[in-house]
Structure 1
Amino acid sequence: MPEGHTLHRLARLHTDYFAGGPVRVSSPQGRFVDSVVVDGRYFDRATATGKHLFHHYEGGLTVHIHLGLYGFFNTYVVPDGAAPPAPVGQVRMRVDGAGERGEVPGGPGVGVVEPGAVGSAHVVDLRGPTRCDVIDDDDVAAVRARLGPDPLDPHADPERAWDRIRRSTRPIGALLMDQKVLAGVGNVYRAEVLFRAGLDPFRPGTSISEAEFRQLWDDLVAMMAIGVDTGHIHTIRAEHDYGDLPRRGEDRPRNYVYQRDGWACRVCGDEIALETMEARTLFWCPSCQAGRARR
């Protein structure tokens, strides 16, 4: 499932592509029946909270998108006068930025964006989302109210997350993945931020000090911002970046522990461990993150 930085990056890109003009919205697959409600309207902006993406339109209507495990966008650049490519596969929603083109004929993460040019328009195709429907402003507020603070939101209140963590006996590794505690943190950032802090993922929230929580929050803010800017998760500090093959192949981004089970820890040389925590795979270094009271 894409982590929060992916949704914030999509929000930034889609605002750049579509804001300030009318767009054509269709459902080649036929399942997004509400597409007719926003088709032809002016696209105001796109925003994100945690793993939720919102396309805001004139008149207070919003398309709410949750990519889930299998959802992703493909993006195309279409020169003026040209027709967009035919949808490939089960496209739930197509957004065509060339509002004057007329009828629109009827892809985990961000698709490949080909170079654009002056006199071109963007078209994005959404495939396989968990959710894609039209909601109003009250519904948007309700979705956001159910979520914890988002490290990528400059107005977020980390005290809300700290208050829940310090009162909980659940492991800190599970709390970081709970979207009601922190919005947007997924398995990669969970594993990497705990390693960078030297924290045992099995420590209960009640044992985490405020200083330790602040370190986690500040580190998430910094790391996830890099993800928004670059489109890639990069968690390695310069002193530990040896340029080796970090996970399972040359195309994998470098990291400390995520998907490195059985490999030597970059810092201590001991073996990275893999365990299951609340039905999710956990990667950690038992030496660098020592301190667990063994079950």
Structure 2
Amino acid sequence: MPEGHSVHRIARQFALHFVGKTVAVSSPQGRFAAGAERIDGLRMLSAKAVGKQMFLEFEHDRWLRVHLGLYGAWDFAGNFTADATTASAAGRMGQTNQHGTVVGEHEDSLASIGAPRRTRLRMSEQEKASDAPSEFPPEPIGAVRVRLLTDTTCADLRGPTACEVLTPDEVQVALNKLGPDPLVDDNGAAEERFVATVRKKQTAIGILLMDQSVVSGIGNVYRAEILFRARLDPHTPGKLIPEELLRELWRDWAHLLEIGVRTGQMMTMDGLTGDDYTAALASRDDRHWVYHREGLPCRVCGANIAMELASARKLYWCPSCQAPLGS
């Protein structure tokens, strides 16, 4: 499932290449025909991500809410920026890093490689570039739930968990169900909200971090890595975690999310330079502390990394480095 950094990157593609333009909206698959008709031919006014959900605003108080879920993905074709990062959104198109196309096991990504051009890009948890289609707009491939089309850019959505047209009041209801997002909310207030919520819970922190009503955007990879970086036992009840440690968790999430949006990678090992940094961009084997490393030695203490199921998702952790508090 795409984590928060991926959805923010997708929202930036729309902010750069759709906002301010009249958009033709259709449902090649047919399942979203009624919704597409409600926003077809309207101008897009804004695009924003909150956690794992994206909200596209159109004229006449209509919004498109999309949650990619486990299988959803956006395919972009035509003229667009291959890396719509924070810097790109400020007008610097693709200048944040120059590592070319990065292909790694489990988590492929496209790094910054220049200004808008005609090509094709799939954006989900993996970002994969391919050759430009021979014609524009390209013929829909597969079960395209919704197509958004301008004169120069096409975006096709496949396999989302949610895709619906909402009123402003309905958007607010959806937003009210989400926890704070460091890239959206006032960071001071967001930190206070996160800390206050967790400190009321008897639930294990390893489960709380995946609860989108507690904090938006954290998925399986970031959950495991943030807890390891804090040396925190994932089974610790939220209410037993010291306040300062919770604040450190929030600030680390904000730090890692910014890196993820900027690089397109869930880079969770700090201080890498030169060949080590290049290797980390190229392969998850070289950029994570514990995620997907079950049975391998901990990079810090040498103990075997453990894996268990927590809320039906695989949780990776080091039983030695992440010993219970006070032990």
The offset of 1:67, in angstroms, is: 0.6
The structure 2 residue matched to 1:97, chosen from 115, 136, 150, is 150
Farther off after superposition, 227-236 or 85-94: 227-236
Alpha-carbon distance in structure 2 between the residues aligned to 1:230 and 1:245:
14
Partner of 1:86: 139
The equivalent residue for 2:12 is 12
Q: State whether structure 2 residue 234 is matched by structure 1 residue 177.
A: no
**Residues 244-289 of structure 1: CA deviation (Å, up to 9, x unaligned):** 988xx94766211111111111111211110122322110011111
- Residue of structure 1 equivalent to 2:247: 214
Kindly indicate whether the alpha-carbon contact (under 8 Å) linking 1:235 and 1:256 is maintained by their aligned counterparts in 2.
yes
2:309 corresponds to which of 261, 273, 276:
276
Distance 2:186 2:60 in 1: 25
> Which SS does the other structure have where 1:23 is aligned?
strand
Q: After the TM superposition, which of the residue ranges 83-92 and 231-240 deviates more from structure 2?
A: 231-240
TM-score (normalizing by structure 2): 0.77
Q: Is 2:54 aligned against 1:21?
A: no
**1:128 equivalenced with 2:159 (yes/no):** yes
Q: Which residue of 1 aligns with 2:31?
A: 31
Residue equivalent to 2:221: 188
Deviations 1:100-148 (A, max 9, x none): xxxxxxxxxxxxxxxxxxxxx1111100001111001111111110111
- Read off the aligned partner of 1:283 and give its amino acid letter: Y
1:70 corresponds in structure 2 to: 71
Q: Is the 8 A contact 1:232 1:253 kept in 2?
A: no
Cα offset, 1:205, TM superposition = 0.7
**What's the CA shift string for 1:182-201, capped at 9, x where partnerless?**
11111111100010011111
CA–CA distance in 2 between the matches of 1:293 and 1:89? Answer: 54
CA contact (8 A) 2:232 2:325 kept: no
2:87 is aligned to none
Opposite residue 19 of structure 1, the aligned amino acid is V
SS at match of 1:216: helix
Distance 1:94 1:218, change over 3 A: same
Q: What residue is the counterpart of 1:148 in the other structure?
A: 179
Given that residues 147 and 179 in structure 1 are in contact (C-alpha distance below 8 angstroms), is that contact kept between their aligned partners in structure 2? Answer: yes
> Would the aligned equivalents of 2:224 and 2:316 in 1 still touch at CA under 8 Å?
yes
After superposition, the Cα gap between the structure-2 partners of 1:142 and 1:220, relative to the gap in structure 1 and judged at 3 Å, is same
Structure 2's unaligned 5+ residue stretches are 80-117, 119-134
Instruction: Quote the offset at 1:239 in angstroms.
Output: 5.9
Give the equivalent residue in structure 1 for 2:232: 199
Deviation at 1:152, TM superposition (A): 2.3
User: After the TM superposition, which residues 262-273 of structure 1 pair with which residues of structure 2 at under 5 Å, given as runs?
Assistant: 262-273=295-306
1:42 counterpart SS class: strand
More displaced 10-residue stretch of structure 1: 277-286 or 216-225: 277-286
Task: Work out whether residues 78 and 136 of structure 2, in 8 Å CA contact, stay in contact via their aligned partners in 1.
Answer: no
Find the residue that maps to 2:192 and give its secondary structure.
helix
Aligned length: 269
Q: Distance in 2 between matches of 1:61 and 1:253?
A: 44
Q: What's the counterpart of residue 139 of structure 1?
A: 170
Q: Using a 3 Å threshold, how does the CA distance of structure 1 residues 182 and 143 change in structure 2: closer, same or farther?
A: same
**How large is the Cα RMSD of the aligned pairs?**
2.3
How many angstroms apart in 2 are the aligned matches of 1:288 and 1:88?
Answer: 47
CA distance in 2: counterparts of 1:167 and 1:255, whole angstroms: 30
Question: 2-side partners of 1:278 and 1:250: how far apart?
Answer: 27
Is the CA contact (8 Å cut-off) linking 2:51 and 2:212 kept in structure 1? yes
